[in-house]
């Protein structure tokens, strides 16, 4: 280890703090699902092999530098209020105090009606507020037919970043003030004050301009630098992480929108540890400031060198290779990656901005992405402590299923489910309130938010902090869990393995399968069954119960022979019989030694071998250069990356 570097005085990873998934039948130690402690885990949307990563890139703000909450938000909120008053806004708005329990990332602000909206991935409104008043269903439908709104840049602004949290709260404060002030009269799209009309859109634009001023030209950064200990969290594990990255042989780079003087002050503070004599710049092979993301991932700007002594840009455009130890300003992703010799799949980039850091780097450049979600620590704590509420919701789901379980299309009477529905709404509301006024960042009840859907689509990995990378070897393979569809997570396997001949009569096979599911055996029950625990095959947990709430095969276990049974049994019998015929044909073919599959009673005339299958979730790569991969067109040089979302829509509503 180099002289002056910080040594690990204790292991950063204590296995005793980790857990194994003990669900399911008794198994030996090797078959138990192993998880690191939740606070140290990295969560996986798409499989990724760290061994293949050659470049680790990092944003600074809210990624390497985690600002203390709510102290930093309170500071920004105070400065923007003062800026608005200097612009002519009433001094009474200075009386508002920041409340960290109200705002959540990912809300939409409707500049036409002045409402904050929490929406799902399709634009369906989950909840809405006007000022601090949460709108009832009828009020929402009056403004938004079908409780739906399309993401329109001319009308909607998405409050995506952690820097937007005080802005979210201030917008609510301003709408609340103008709504209740006797000097202002509410109008259709704003407020009247005598002969003056103040639109919601103008209020938003003033607020947005004030925040930009405070962050770019104002005193926010100067105050932060003068009191770094009050506003920036410091962790001794950060130098350790970069020491390990250096020892792994990978290269690192810093890519931030902040200017040099601010970047240097923050990074010096973060890496200034007792016994640490190495300057922070030595932990990075390349440093780029003033990058202007997301523009940097597209056309970019001029690449120039920074004079670290004066902080000014050097005259002229940089044309040579990027040199380690120098600091650069601006540029573009295309220029940068060419100069360092990086391909998209070689880079894993860590950032906190779903749009500026993750979406653009994934869609335009095919980088692997890691989204830093500081709120995840609190989300996990509420999730783990809310066991009783989740069990109540599962029980209600079972009650709902039991109401319908003996009914089919011949039923004439409509069952009364109103009491169950009302109780479900109460439980979901209590669950949401545990997170804050606007609920969870990721969901509302069982529905994912817009933020959550974008995170799943464009992020390969995510976690509460970059420091969780310390607890994984750099040869680690992150394996994405199965994303089961409803017909996969709520229907159990009833037929025997088709690779062997089953001599059981179809009716006996079905009966056996139903009995096993009905018994509640965790080894055969569905992923979403029972008490909502995960199944042993990695399936997702969710609503449904063995008694028949979730439908499908488990639901049918409650049917008794009679008028409802023949249709269901006949359908299953035919499926089982077809599988058995196929298995018998396979065995007969094996005995004959015949490789032809043309006589098999199935849709397939030629089955692919395992080597012919591109298994995306295993992140397979033969290590050959692009254009030489097995099975691809030789010399094309354009082999798509498994994790590159090449089919992603370019519509605006998928990018904001």
pLDDT score of 612 more than 90 = no
Query: In a 3-state reduction of DSSP, which class is residue 590?
Result: helix
Q: So what's the pLDDT on residue 113?
A: 97
> What mean pLDDT do residues 39-65 have?
97
Please, what are the domains in the chain? 46-63+234-372 (3.40.50.1000), 71-228 (no CATH), 486-592 (no CATH)
pLDDT score of 154 more than 80 = yes
Name the percent of the chain lying above pLDDT 90: 62
Longest alpha-carbon distance in the chain: 95
Using only C-alpha atoms, the chain has a radius of gyration, in whole angstroms, of: 29
Q: So what's the pLDDT on residue 625?
A: 40
299 close to 265: Cβ distance less than 8 angstroms: no
Distance CA 264, CA 260 (A): 6
pLDDT score of 551 more than 50 = no
Residue labelled with tokens 């400031």: 289
**Which residues are known to be catalytic?**
59, 61
Task: Give tens-digit pLDDT for 522-545.
Answer: 333 333 333 333 333 333 333 445
Task: Give tens-digit pLDDT for 411-424.
Answer: 999 999 999 999 99
| Number of Cβ atoms within 10 Å of the Cβ of 422 | 10
Q: So what's the pLDDT on residue 580?
A: 67
Distance CA 206, CA 228 (A): 29
pLDDT score of 71 more than 90 = yes
> What mean pLDDT do residues 40-44 have?
96
Name the percent of the chain lying above pLDDT 70: 71
Give the residue ranges of DSSP H helices in 320-405. Answer: 333-340, 360-365, 376-385, 387-404
Q: How confident is the model at residue 547 (pLDDT cuts 50, 70, 90)?
A: very low
Task: Give tens-digit pLDDT for 383-400.
Answer: 888 888 889 988 999 999
Q: So what's the pLDDT on residue 526?
A: 30
Task: Give tens-digit pLDDT for 342-357.
Answer: 999 999 999 999 999 9
Phi, psi of 109, deg, nearest 5? -110, 120
Residue labelled with tokens 């393995």: 497
DSSP tag of 610: G
On average, the pLDDT of the chain sits at 80
Q: So what's the pLDDT on residue 33?
A: 75
Q: How confident is the model at residue 493 (pLDDT cuts 50, 70, 90)?
A: confident
> What mean pLDDT do residues 135-152 have?
95
Task: Give tens-digit pLDDT for 156-213.
Answer: 999 999 999 999 999 999 999 999 999 999 998 999 999 999 999 999 999 999 999 9
């Amino acid at each position: 280890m180099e002289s002056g570097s910080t040594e690990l005085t204790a292991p950063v990873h204590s296995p005793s703090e980790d857990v194994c998934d003990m669900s399911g039948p008794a198994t030996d130690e090797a078959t138990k699902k192993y998880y690191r402690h939740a606070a140290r885990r990295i969560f996986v949307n798409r499989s990724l092999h760290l061994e293949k990563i050659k470049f680790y890139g990092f944003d600074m703000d809210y990624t390497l530098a985690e600002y203390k909450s709510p102290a930093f938000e309170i500071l920004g909120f105070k400065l923007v209020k003062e800026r608005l008053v200097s612009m002519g806004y009433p001094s009474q708005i200075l009386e508002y105090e920041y409340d960290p329990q109200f705002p959540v990332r990912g809300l939409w602000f409707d500049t036409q009606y002045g409402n904050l909206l929490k929406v799902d991935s399709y634009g369906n409104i989950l909840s809405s507020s006007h000022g601090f008043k949460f709108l009832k269903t009828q009020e929402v439908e009056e403004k938004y037919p079908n409780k739906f709104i399309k993401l329109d840049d001319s009308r909607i602004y998405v409050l995506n970043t952690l820097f937007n949290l005080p802005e979210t709260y201030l917008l609510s404060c301003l709408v609340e003030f103008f709504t209740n002030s006797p000097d202002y009269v509410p109008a259709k799209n704003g407020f009247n004050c005598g002969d003056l009309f103040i639109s919601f859109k103008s209020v938003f634009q003033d607020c947005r301009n004030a925040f930009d001023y405070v962050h770019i030209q104002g005193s926010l950064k100067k105050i932060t630098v003068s009191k770094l200990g009050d506003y920036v969290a410091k962790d001794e594990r950060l130098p350790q992480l970069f020491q390990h990255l250096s020892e792994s042989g990978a290269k690192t780079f810093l890519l931030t929108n902040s200017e040099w003087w601010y970047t240097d002050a923050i990074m010096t503070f973060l890496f200034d540890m007792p016994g640490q004599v190495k300057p922070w710049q030595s932990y990075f092979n390349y440093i780029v400031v003033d990058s202007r993301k997301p523009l940097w991932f597209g056309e970019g700007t001029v690449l120039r060198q920074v004079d670290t002594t004066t902080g000014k840009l050097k005259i002229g455009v940089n044309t040579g290779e990027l040199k380690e130890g120098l600091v650069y300003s601006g540029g573009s992703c295309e220029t940068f990656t060419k100069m360092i010799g990086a391909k998209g799949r070689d880079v894993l980039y860590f950032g906190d901005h779903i749009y500026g850091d993750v979406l653009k780097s994934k869609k335009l450049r095919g980088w692997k992405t890691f989204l830093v979600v500081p709120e995840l620590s609190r989300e996990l704590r509420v999730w783990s402590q809310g066991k009783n509420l989740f069990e109540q919701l599962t029980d209600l789901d079972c009650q709902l299923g039991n109401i319908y379980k003996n009914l089919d299309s011949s039923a004439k009477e409509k069952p009364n489910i109103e009491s169950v529905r009302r109780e479900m709404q109460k439980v979901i509301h209590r669950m949401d309130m545990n997170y804050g006024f606007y609920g969870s960042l990721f969901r509302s009840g069982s529905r994912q938010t817009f933020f959550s859907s974008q995170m799943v689509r464009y992020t390969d990995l995510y976690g509460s902090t970059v420091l969780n990378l310390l607890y994984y070897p750099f040869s680690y393979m992150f394996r994405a869990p199965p994303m089961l569809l409803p017909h996969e997570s709520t229907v159990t396997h009833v037929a025997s393995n088709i690779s062997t001949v089953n001599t059981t009569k179809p009716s006996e096979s079905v009966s056996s399968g139903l009995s096993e599911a009905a018994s509640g055996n965790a080894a055969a029950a569905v992923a979403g069954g029972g008490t909502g625990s995960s199944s042993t095959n990695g399936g997702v947990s969710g609503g449904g119960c063995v008694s028949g709430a979730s439908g499908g095969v488990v639901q049918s276990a409650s049917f008794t022979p009679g008028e409802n049974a023949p249709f269901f049994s006949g359908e299953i019998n035919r499926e089982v019989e077809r599988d058995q015929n196929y298995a018998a044909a396979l065995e007969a073919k094996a005995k004959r030694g015949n490789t032809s599959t043309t006589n098999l009673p199935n849709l397939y005339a030629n089955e692919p071998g395992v080597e012919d299958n591109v298994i995306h979730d295993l992140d397979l790569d033969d290590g050959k250069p692009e254009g030489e991969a097995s099975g691809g067109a030789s010399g094309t040089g354009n082999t798509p990356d498994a994790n590159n979302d090449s089919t992603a829509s370019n519509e605006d509503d998928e990018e904001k």
